[in-house]
Amino acid sequence: MCAMNQTTDLELNVTTEQGLRALAEDGHTVEVLCKADPERKGPSWYGLWIMRTVGNDGQEKILVTARTRVTQNAIRVREFKTATGVISFLVGIGFSQASIPMKNGETTSHRLVSD
């Protein structure tokens, strides 16, 4: 049985919004992955996107919901269901542009640029 303060292998591969922001500021790439072809409904696009960071060493961390949980099974990948949600999240992290993949399996990359 693991002690509560031990980090599991799964936890090494995930990050929260706060962690993603810090990793992006440290030069990690933020990738947006399309998990389902988006559909246009009126003026909006609905689909399924997730995000991850990729470090210079190639290590990936998937964005998850806040880590307050009782069991390991409570970790959930953070899903974005609208293009507007993806854009809002990326702008909130500090990106001045947002590129969104529009086909299942496609990925776009974002990197913060220092002035």
Three-class secondary structure assignment of the chain: CCCCCCCCHHHHCEECHHHHHHHHHCCCEEEEEEEEEEEEECCEEEEEEEEEEECCCCCEEEEECCCCCCCHHHCCECCEEEHHHHHHHHHHHCCCCCCCCCCCCCEEEECCCCC
pTM above 0.85, yes or no: no
Q: Is the pLDDT at 66 greater than 90, yes or no?
A: no
Statement: residue 115 has pLDDT above 60: no
Pairing of strands 107-110, 80-82: unpaired
**In this predicted structure, what is the pLDDT of residue 70?**
53
6, two tokens: 């031990």
Residue-wise pLDDT tens digits, 21-35: 999 999 999 999 999
| Structure confidence at residue 78 as a pLDDT band (50, 70, 90) | very high
pLDDT recorded at residue 5: 42
Integer-rounded Cα Rg, in Å, for the chain is 15
CB atoms within 10 A of CB 90: 22
Cα–Cα distance for residue pair 53/4, rounded to 1 Å: 25
What pLDDT sits at residue 67?
A: 55
